[in-house]
Amino acid sequence: MLEKDCITIGRIGGQYAKPRSIEYEIINNEKKDNYRGDIVNDFDPKGYRESNPDNLLKAYYNSMTTM
pLDDT in tens, 9-37: 666 566 677 778 888 888 889 888 888 88
The pLDDT value given to residue 50: 83
Phi-psi region at 29: left, alpha or beta (left = phi > 0; alpha = psi -120 to 50): left
Sign of the CA dihedral running 13, 14, 18, 19 = positive
Q: Which residues pair with 24 in a beta bridge?
A: 33
Of 20, 18, 17, nearest to 59 by C-alpha is: 17
Q: Are 39 and 12 in contact (CB under 8 A)?
A: yes
Question: Is residue 61's pLDDT more than 70?
Answer: yes
